[in-house]
C-alpha cells in the first residue's frame, strides 16, 4: 500500500463544528418563526370558526377539538390562537413604545443638566414606588380600558428599569477618552450623542425591548382577567381564563389548562429569544 493510500485510510473525516454564536442565531430564528406563525395564524383565522354552536358545548378534548369547546360550543384551540395573536400584538406595540421612552429618558438624564437628571430619577422612583398592578389598573381605567387603555398602561409603566440601565451605560461612555477628544475637536453635545453614544445603545435597546415582551403579555392578560383590559367581545387569553373560572368546579379543566399553558409557552419563548439575542450581541459568546 502506498503512503498516500495509507494516509488516506488513516485519515478520519473532520466533524463539522458549529460555534455557539451560530447555534444561538439558529435557535433565535426558529423561536422568532414560531412566534410569527402563532401571530399569523391568529390573524388569518376567520371569526366564523369561533361562532357559538350549542350542539357542541362543553365537549372535552378530542381529535376534532384538541382543546375542547366552551359552554357556547366555541372551539377552544381557535380561541386560544386568536387570543395569543392579540397578546403578541399588544406586547410588541407596548414594548416598542416603552423601550423608545426608556431610550429617550435614559439618554436625556445622562447627557442633560444635573437638575434634569435629578428630575428624571425622581420620576423613575415615583413610578417604581407605586405597586405595578395598581398603576396599570389606574392608567387603563383612566384611558377608557379596552385595547387603547391596555397599550397605554403597559407602555408607560415598563420603561423605568431599561431607562436606568441606559443612563448608567451613557454615563460610562461619556467618561471615555474619545468623547473628550471629540469635545476638543469642537463637536457639539448633540453630535456626540448621535454619533458616539446612540450607536452603543443599540444592543441594550434591542435586548431590553425583547425582554419587555413577556412582562407586557403577562400584564395584558392579568388586566383583562381582572376586567380592566380588553372587552369581552375580543378574543384574549385573559378573557378566556376569566370565563373558565366559572366552570372549573364542574370538571371542565380544559377551559383554563390549555390557554394558560399556551400563554406560559409564548412568554417563555419570548424570554428565550431575549436571552439568545443577548448572547448574539455579546462578543465573548461568539465561539466555544
Q: Is it the case that residue 272 has pLDDT exceeding 70?
A: yes
Q: How confident is the model at residue 266 (pLDDT cuts 50, 70, 90)?
A: confident
Q: Is it the case that residue 16 has pLDDT exceeding 60?
A: no
Per DSSP, 64 falls in state S
pLDDT in tens, 188-217: 888 888 888 888 888 888 888 888 888 888
Q: How confident is the model at residue 19 (pLDDT cuts 50, 70, 90)?
A: low
Which residue in the block uniquely carries the three cell numbers 386560544? 80
What integer pLDDT is reported at residue 250 of this predicted model?
A: 80
Q: Is it the case that residue 7 has pLDDT exceeding 50?
A: no
Q: How confident is the model at residue 20 (pLDDT cuts 50, 70, 90)?
A: low
Q: Is it the case that residue 172 has pLDDT exceeding 70?
A: yes
Task: Report the C-alpha gap between 101 and 70 in whole angstroms.
Answer: 40
How much is the average pLDDT of 230-246?
A: 80
Q: 29-39 burial, b for 16+ CB within 10 Å, e for fewer?
A: eebbeebeebb
How much is the average pLDDT of 175-192?
A: 82
What percent of the chain shows pLDDT beyond 90?
0
Q: Which is nearest to 43 in space by CA: 83, 73, 96?
A: 83
Helices 198-226 + 237-244 axis angle, to 10: 30
Among 37-41, 46-50, 90-94, the minimum mean pLDDT is found in 46-50
Q: Helix (H, G, I), strand (E, B), or coil: what is residue 69?
A: strand
Q: Is it the case that residue 1 has pLDDT exceeding 50?
A: no
How much is the average pLDDT of 224-242?
A: 79
> Grid coordinates standing for 206?
434591542
Amino acid at each position: 500500500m502506498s503512503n498516500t493510500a495509507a494516509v488516506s485510510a488513516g485519515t478520519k473525516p473532520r466533524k463539522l463544528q458549529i460555534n455557539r454564536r451560530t447555534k444561538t442565531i439558529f435557535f433565535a430564528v426558529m423561536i422568532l418563526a414560531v412566534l410569527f406563525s402563532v401571530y399569523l395564524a391568529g390573524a388569518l383565522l376567520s371569526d366564523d370558526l369561533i361562532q357559538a354552536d350549542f350542539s357542541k358545548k362543553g365537549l372535552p378534548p378530542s381529535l376534532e377539538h384538541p382543546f375542547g369547546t366552551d359552554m357556547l360550543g366555541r372551539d377552544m384551540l381557535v380561541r386560544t390562537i386568536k387570543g395569543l395573536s392579540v397578546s403578541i400584538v399588544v406586547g410588541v406595540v407596548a414594548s416598542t413604545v416603552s423601550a423608545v421612552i426608556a431610550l429617550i429618558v435614559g439618554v436625556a438624564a445622562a447627557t442633560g443638566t444635573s437638575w434634569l437628571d435629578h428630575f428624571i430619577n425622581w420620576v423613575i422612583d415615583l413610578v417604581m414606588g407605586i405597586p405595578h398592578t395598581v398603576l396599570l389598573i389606574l392608567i387603563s381605567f383612566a384611558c377608557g380600558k379596552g385595547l387603547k387603555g391596555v397599550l397605554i398602561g403597559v407602555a408607560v409603566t415598563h420603561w423605568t428599569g431599561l431607562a436606568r440601565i441606559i443612563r448608567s451605560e451613557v454615563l460610562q461612555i461619556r467618561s471615555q477618552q474619545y468623547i473628550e477628544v471629540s469635545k476638543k475637536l469642537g463637536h457639539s453635545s448633540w453630535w456626540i450623542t448621535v454619533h458616539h453614544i446612540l450607536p452603543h445603545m443599540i444592543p441594550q435597546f434591542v435586548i431590553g425591548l425583547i425582554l419587555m415582551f413577556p412582562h407586557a403579555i403577562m400584564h395584558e392578560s392579568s388586566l383583562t382577567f381582572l376586567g380592566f383590559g380588553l372587552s369581552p367581545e375580543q378574543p384574549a387569553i385573559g378573557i378566556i381564563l376569566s370565563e373558565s373560572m366559572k366552570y372549573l368546579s364542574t370538571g371542565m379543566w380544559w377551559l383554563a389548562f390549555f390557554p394558560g399553558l399556551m400563554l406560559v409557552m409564548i412568554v417563555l419563548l419570548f424570554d428565550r429569544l431575549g436571552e439568545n439575542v443577548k448572547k448574539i450581541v455579546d462578543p465573548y459568546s461568539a465561539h466555544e
